[in-house]
Structure 1
Amino acid sequence: MKVGDIALAVFLAVLAVVSAGALNHMNAADRSIDLLGFALAASTALVLAVRRRWPEATLAANVVLLSTYLWLTYPYGPVMFTFSVATYSVGRYLPLNRAATATLIALVVEATHLFVHPASASGLYGLIPSTGFAIIPLAVGVMVRVNRESAERARADAIRERVSDERLRVAQEVHDVVGHGLAAIKMQADIALHLLAKKPEQAEIALKAISSTSTEALDELRATLTVVRGRAPAPGLSLLPDLTDRMSHAGVEVRLNVVGTQRALPAAVDLAGYRIVQESLTNVLKHSPVKRATVKVGYSADAVDIAVSNPANGVPVGDGFGIAGMRERVTALGGQFSAGPTAEGMFEVRAAIPAKGDA
């Protein structure tokens, strides 16, 4: 039982008893109120204390007590409101078919007092107030239940959508980290296999690079998972020198050019910029026969512009989490993204990301 339900039940019980005493002898047709009448009036309200847990049982008890009160021709009054609360409760907490059935049965039982109570209206006029005390509260209860269920479904859908977005974000982060590391490892492994028989000393250098690259990739993967758990800051554009050094060791010649005053950016913008450069350089490593790229990062007052270009020979646009993932990162932040060949014979990835304010 909830405290609010108990308080409501006690309030209606006091109201029913006080009003029954006040209305006593106001209509000569009514039976004089006595101890039994007060007990019945109070009981019709007190059963409402469990209306939320057992709405059907509450309605059944209420209609039996109320009908007995009225069959004994005690005076009408606020005691009738207890019937309304009981019918509202079945509409609020039960499926529509059960609520409607229970209310119809209760209304039929309650309406039988019209045949014996001398103060009731005759004929169909007597059914009007009885029906109003039942149908209107039932309809209100059903509407409240439907609205609440709709709100709960909307909240559940929103939670599922956020979970799905978070899974996609984690998948993109892992893809960017693992894909970058594996591409570098594969390149060094190919070099090692090619040189193993003819120049074993150079193959050893490539194998050491594989070991170093795999260690760095594992460290970045751990850092990324730590970020997902909310324990550490995500990588940002300030780490581009480290990224370009790793790519140089993997076999891609990278020239980094920063224009404007480098500043702290909002975390989402900083991470997106880093991942765009990382994924673009990984594509160069995997797909371009010319392992050379230029990275330009331009800082302005309200945006950061990123351009990664390399010779276009045979570089595919691709799909999956590559180009598509970069585009989604940028557009989600309200920026503009493009990727494709240029008139100068280069393949260029460009991103302009709004970055008003500092981190």
Structure 2
Amino acid sequence: MPEANLARPPTGAKTVVAWAAFALSPLVLAAWAAVGGPPSVVPVLAMALPFGVVRRQPWAVLGLLVAELALSPLVPESHSFVRYLQIVSIDLAVGCLATVRRPRVSVGAAAAVLVAQAIVANVFPLWPGYGARGSVEAVAGLVIAWLGGNTLRLWRQNAQARRAHAAAEAVQAERLRIARELHDMVAHSIGVIAIQAGMGRRVIDTQPGEAGAALHAIEDASRDTLAGLRRMLGALRRSDAEPVAAPLGLADLDALVARSADAGLRVRLRRLGDPRPLPPEIDLSAFRIVQESVANVVRHAGTSECQVVLDQRDEELFIEVTDNGRGHVQGDGYGIPGMRERVALLRGEFSAGPRPGGGFRVTARLPTFEGAR
């Protein structure tokens, strides 16, 4: 156990000490008034002792301080500052109550305090010269204390609401990220599997060799998808101290091109510019954009060829995927919206739509300089 913890008193001991101080407060004040003690810090100490439990029991503290006001006749007239100190302490207790209770409760408590002060002031002046002006000062002090406490309560509520909203946004952002990853990871492989399964079914009787090749492609695509799902689940379940597996990136495009060829789609990959290491989030997003675009070609374009261009410039990465097929069906799918979300999170530009001469075109510009992130 650390030495700092050995020197720290237990919570139970702190509670006992706080309640003992609470109980000593009226005794200290009564003893000081009974002996006619000179002006000193003793009354200040007596007023401060109850505040050790004000966070847990503000009602008890307020009630004790109001009750101690009944001891005012015992205080010598030459020490009237003690009565003024009692009023200030009661105001502080009302302010503390307003920080933890609803306005209708704390306002009721403040009104009860005003009534108690009025009753005591009607029996004897709280301090020399106390009158209409003194009562106005007492009311003003109480109002100021209540306003301060209620303002602090509202500030805490707003801060808590902001934290809850930020947590909800973080959870939603993480859910969207996981949904995009799952979609982009599975969509391409499922497209390859569907095409190969259909082709194998058609030729299994007449061309067993082709059917076997289709089954082999289905096996490879399934294994790749399973490995990707295991990586994702491992990343979700790992602790912060555990190492993170290397994420996918543009270096994995060659394997993507090979899998697409198994599905009957020839992907012509062109790399332009000066290849440099990219930040992980940009590298992964670029790979997912190409993967989803190629998957859309497999599923919708009805063509056997597409072109992927990667142009790594000084401050941006340009991605273009084009095909000369029959165009894509932009319905309620998540592919294109997911790509658009990825690019927007990286403060880039994205477009997807039919080409004037036929086919479909997807472009993305991802800033790679530090100021863009």
**Aligned position for 1:76:** 80
**Aligned position for 2:298:** 285
Indicate the SS of the match to 1:338: strand
| 1:33 lines up with 2:36 in the alignment | yes
Following the alignment from structure 2 to structure 1, what is the Cα–Cα distance between the partners of residues 60 and 367? 61
Does the C-alpha gap of structure 1 residues 41 and 312 become closer, same or farther in structure 2, counting only changes over 3 Å?
A: same
Following the alignment from structure 1 to structure 2, what is the Cα–Cα distance between the partners of residues 116 and 288? 95
Specify the code of the residue in structure 2 equivalent to 1:127: S
Native 8 Å contact 2:327 2:359 kept in 1: no
| 1:330 lines up with 2:343 in the alignment | yes
Does the C-alpha gap of structure 1 residues 110 and 45 become closer, same or farther in structure 2, counting only changes over 3 Å?
A: farther
Indicate the SS of the match to 2:288: helix
| 1:203 lines up with 2:211 in the alignment | yes
**Aligned position for 2:137:** 129
Indicate the SS of the match to 2:308: strand
**Aligned position for 1:354:** 367
Native 8 Å contact 1:317 1:339 kept in 2: no
Among 264, 268, 279, the residue aligned to 1:255:
268
Q: For the aligned residues, what is the CA RMSD?
A: 3.0
**Aligned position for 2:116:** 109
Gaps of 5+ in 1: 25-30
Among 295, 316, 328, the residue aligned to 2:308:
295
Following the alignment from structure 1 to structure 2, what is the Cα–Cα distance between the partners of residues 122 and 261? 86
**Aligned position for 1:55:** 58
1:343: how far off? Answer: 2.6
Q: Deviations over 1:31-62 (max 9, x none)?
A: 98359x99876443311211110111110111
Does the C-alpha gap of structure 1 residues 314 and 345 become closer, same or farther in structure 2, counting only changes over 3 Å?
A: closer
Among 238, 245, 254, the residue aligned to 2:251:
238
**Aligned position for 1:92:** 99
Following the alignment from structure 2 to structure 1, what is the Cα–Cα distance between the partners of residues 92 and 261? 76
219-228 vs 99-108, which moves further:
219-228
221-230 vs 327-336, which moves further:
221-230
Compute the TM-score of the two structures, normalised by the length of structure 1: 0.86
Specify the code of the residue in structure 1 equivalent to 2:252: L
Q: Deviations over 1:100-143 (max 9, x none)?
A: 11121122112322123244445432312321332211110000
Gaps of 5+ in 2: 1-10
201-210 vs 140-149, which moves further:
201-210
**Aligned position for 1:28:** none
Following the alignment from structure 2 to structure 1, what is the Cα–Cα distance between the partners of residues 302 and 328? 8
98-107 vs 121-130, which moves further:
121-130
Native 8 Å contact 1:335 1:352 kept in 2: yes
Indicate the SS of the match to 1:259: strand
Following the alignment from structure 1 to structure 2, what is the Cα–Cα distance between the partners of residues 353 and 76? 74
Among 279, 296, 313, the residue aligned to 2:326:
313
Specify the code of the residue in structure 2 equivalent to 1:341: P
Among 183, 186, 197, the residue aligned to 2:191:
183
| 1:156 lines up with 2:160 in the alignment | no
Following the alignment from structure 1 to structure 2, what is the Cα–Cα distance between the partners of residues 185 and 285? 11
Native 8 Å contact 1:172 1:325 kept in 2: yes
Native 8 Å contact 2:267 2:306 kept in 1: yes
Does the C-alpha gap of structure 1 residues 227 and 242 become closer, same or farther in structure 2, counting only changes over 3 Å?
A: farther
Following the alignment from structure 1 to structure 2, what is the Cα–Cα distance between the partners of residues 107 and 232? 67
159-168 vs 227-236, which moves further:
227-236
Does the C-alpha gap of structure 1 residues 253 and 189 become closer, same or farther in structure 2, counting only changes over 3 Å?
A: same
Specify the code of the residue in structure 2 equivalent to 1:108: V
Indicate the SS of the match to 1:350: strand
Native 8 Å contact 1:73 1:116 kept in 2: no
Native 8 Å contact 2:94 2:110 kept in 1: yes
1:79: how far off? Answer: 3.8
1:345: how far off? Answer: 2.2
Specify the code of the residue in structure 1 equivalent to 2:47: T
Following the alignment from structure 1 to structure 2, what is the Cα–Cα distance between the partners of residues 38 and 295? 82
Following the alignment from structure 1 to structure 2, what is the Cα–Cα distance between the partners of residues 53 and 223? 48
Query: Number of paired residues?
Result: 340
Q: Deviations over 1:148-180 (max 9, x none)?
A: 110110111011011101101100100111111
Following the alignment from structure 1 to structure 2, what is the Cα–Cα distance between the partners of residues 34 and 280? 88
**Aligned position for 1:27:** none
Native 8 Å contact 1:72 1:117 kept in 2: no
| 1:215 lines up with 2:223 in the alignment | yes
204-213 vs 73-82, which moves further:
73-82
1:86: how far off? Answer: 0.8
